[in-house]
């Protein structure tokens, strides 16, 4: 399965708040740095394992289960979908 942002959802930088925000039709989410790093890799062509490997190049101890857990929570909020 390959996660991607749902249609109408985008990750952008809010200059006023000086943070990354996730804009979607129902509102705004302020993802933590971990979720932001994961969301940047949700392009619809990368698997959870691909995302885990990419994050492992930046951070120590990244596990696919943790990445999947974050993506599952984001999917429950209907900002991420699986292709």
Question: pTM for this structure?
Answer: 0.93
- Specify the pLDDT at position 15: 96
3-state DSSP helix/strand/coil percent for the chain, to nearest 5?
Answer: 35, 25, 40
Q: Which domain holds residue 78?
A: 3-82
80 near 73, Cβ under 8 Å? Answer: no
CATH number for the domain that contains residue 60 = 1.10.10.1150
Which tens digits make up the pLDDT trace of 3-36?
999 999 999 999 999 999 999 998 999 999 999 9
pLDDT tens, residue by residue, 54-71 = 999 999 999 999 999 999
Contact 8, 25 (CB under 8 A): yes
Q: Report strand pairing: 19-24 vs 3-5.
A: unpaired
Distance of CA 46 to the CA centre of its chain: 12
The Cα diameter of the chain in Å comes to 35
Task: Specify the range with the lowest mean pLDDT, choosing from 42-46, 48-52, 56-60.
Answer: 56-60
Counted domains in the chain:
1
């Amino acid at each position: 399965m390959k996660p991607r942002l749902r249609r109408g959802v985008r990750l952008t930088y809010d200059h006023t708040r000086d943070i990354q925000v996730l804009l979607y039709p129902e509102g705004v989410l302020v993802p933590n740095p971990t979720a932001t790093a994961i969301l940047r890799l949700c392009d619809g062509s990368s698997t959870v394992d691909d995302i885990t490997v990419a994050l492992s190049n930046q951070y120590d101890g990244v596990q696919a289960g943790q990445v999947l857990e974050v993506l599952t929570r984001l999917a429950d909020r209907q900002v991420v979908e699986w292709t």
